[in-house]
Amino acid sequence: MINKLEGILKRYNDLSKKLSDPEVISNSENFKKYSREFREVKPVVERYNELKKIEQEILGAQELLNSEDEELKLLGKEEIEILQHKKDDIISEIKILLIPKDPFENKNIIMEIRAGVGGEEAALFVKDLFRMYMAYAENKSWKTELLDSHSTDLGGFKEIIFSISGKDVYKYLKYESGAHRVQRVPETEASGRIHTSTVTVAVLPEAEDVGFEINPDDLRIDVFHASGHGGQNVQKVSTAIRIVHKPTGIMVTCQDERSQLQNKLKAMRILRARLYDIFEQDKEKEIASARRAQIGRGYRNERIRTYNFPQGRVTDHRINLSIYNIQSIMEGNLDELINALIEEEQKEKFEELEE
């Protein structure tokens, strides 16, 4: 850790010189870039300087232990204990400051929820999870917008796609990506048997916020009639949009809006987010540790959580946490789960810093 801190101190001094350089000052883009980096490293340097000062004070107090005067020895011992506590506190603060921030931490997201195994029961659980996240977003004073949905005859959803925007949205909801399993007696089950169904959740950072561009020549855009339950056409005018990204084969449809333009804009938001997610996952496989990837960004084929209604239990399998208050969680009270995941990720990053 000391080597890393010395490197940050050196960079801090370099940045101080750059920010006093007339050539840098005259270039607004470079000045902003260096100023932003300077602000990021300054708190670390300040705490590191405090740490070095305390270590010097500890050395001074240790000299008192060599004194033949018993009172001075006792004074030195007490002083060392006080300084050691201060040192430990500063080291803890420095570790937190050194934890790499997720580059998407403050980004808005697009969330996709899809029915997996379980037919109509899975589709109904998609609706339940959608309501859960809507309630959680309301608790956080976040803004939500429905982008696309495909409903079933019983009121569930084969899939539903929506955006959530606000402060630290991705920071809290990134852990929701993966397979969610539900165990309960379905509304469609007359015999009262418990069924197990699955739903997949994808949490994608909004690509508009990160400047991800798509080549228009790579797209095929089709227009068709929007359809309702059972596939019947609900509009005479073709307003629904289908966009295919030819290089990857990714297809997005949007039909919830009455305007063709609005549907196209929403479809492009979803496509950008999906393509950027693929790009980031490929990059992460090359540079990120397996542990960080598992906690920080779940994948759709990874079972992350079980909702067991007969037992009133929700279990997050990544951290082996079970909460016996399923009704509260389904009402959007996710803080206990999400805060535990944040703490686990921080713990893992602490361990990485110490390696």
The pLDDT of residue 70: 85
The residue whose two tokens read 């080291």 is 91
Residue 148 in any domain: the answer is: yes
* CB half-sphere exposure, 312, CA atoms < 13 A: 4
Whether residues 93 and 119 fall in one domain? no
Whether residues 87 and 208 fall in one domain? no
The predicted-structure confidence for 132-182, as pLDDT tens digits, reads as follows 999 999 999 999 999 989 999 889 999 999 999 999 899 999 999 999 999
- Residue 9: count of CB within 10 angstroms of its CB: 16
The pLDDT of residue 327: 96
Residue 354 in any domain: the answer is: no
Residue 355 in any domain: the answer is: no
Among 32, 67, 98, where does a domain finish? 98
Whether residues 120 and 80 fall in one domain? no
Whether residues 131 and 71 fall in one domain? no
| CATH classification at residue 161 | 3.30.70.1660
Percent share of the chain, pLDDT over 70: 87
Q: Provide φ and ψ at 99, rounded to 5°.
A: -60, 125
Whether residues 73 and 121 fall in one domain? no
- Name the more confident of 56 and 232: 56
Work out the pLDDT band at 294, boundaries 50, 70, 90.
Answer: very low
Work out the pLDDT band at 291, boundaries 50, 70, 90.
Answer: very low
Q: What is the DSSP pairing of strand 240-245 with strand 303-308? A: unpaired
pTM: 0.70
Among 63, 98, 133, where does a domain finish? 98
Q: Give the residue numbers spanning the domain of 141.
A: 109-347
Work out the pLDDT band at 234, boundaries 50, 70, 90.
Answer: very low
Domain count within the chain: 2
- Name the more confident of 122 and 95: 122
What is the distance, to the nearest Å, from the Cα of residue 20 to the centroid of all Cα atoms in its chain?
37
Lowest model confidence (mean pLDDT) among 7-21, 42-56, 262-276, 302-316: 262-276
pLDDT at 14 over 90: yes
The pLDDT of residue 349: 79
Whether residues 295 and 153 fall in one domain? yes
Whether residues 195 and 257 fall in one domain? yes
Residue 352 in any domain: the answer is: no
- Residue 143: count of CB within 10 angstroms of its CB: 12
> Of the candidates 340, 310, 297, which has an alpha carbon nearest to the alpha carbon of residue 322?
340
Residue 281 in any domain: the answer is: yes
Sign of CA dihedral 6, 8, 12, 15: positive
Residue 204 in any domain: the answer is: yes
Q: With beta carbons less than 8 A apart as the criterion, state whether 159 and 129 touch.
A: no
Query: Averaged over 8-35, what is the pLDDT?
Result: 91
Q: Which amino acid is at 166?
A: G
Distances (CA, A) of 155 to 112, 120, 159, 226, 249: 18, 9, 12, 18, 30
Whether residues 117 and 265 fall in one domain? yes
Among 98, 133, 164, where does a domain finish? 98
Query: Averaged over 194-223, what is the pLDDT?
Result: 83
Whether residues 152 and 114 fall in one domain? yes
Whether residues 143 and 285 fall in one domain? yes
Residue 307 in any domain: the answer is: yes
pLDDT at 326 over 80: yes
Query: Averaged over 41-58, what is the pLDDT?
Result: 93
The pLDDT of residue 229: 47
pLDDT at 219 over 70: yes
Considering the chain, what is the average pLDDT of its residues? 85
Q: With beta carbons less than 8 A apart as the criterion, state whether 314 and 326 touch.
A: yes
Whether residues 254 and 332 fall in one domain? yes
Whether residues 156 and 124 fall in one domain? yes
- Name the more confident of 224 and 128: 128
Q: Which amino acid is at 55?
A: E
Residue 104 in any domain: the answer is: no
Q: What's the CA gap between 80 and 8, in Å, rounded?
A: 28
The pLDDT of residue 235: 47
Query: Averaged over 91-107, what is the pLDDT?
Result: 82
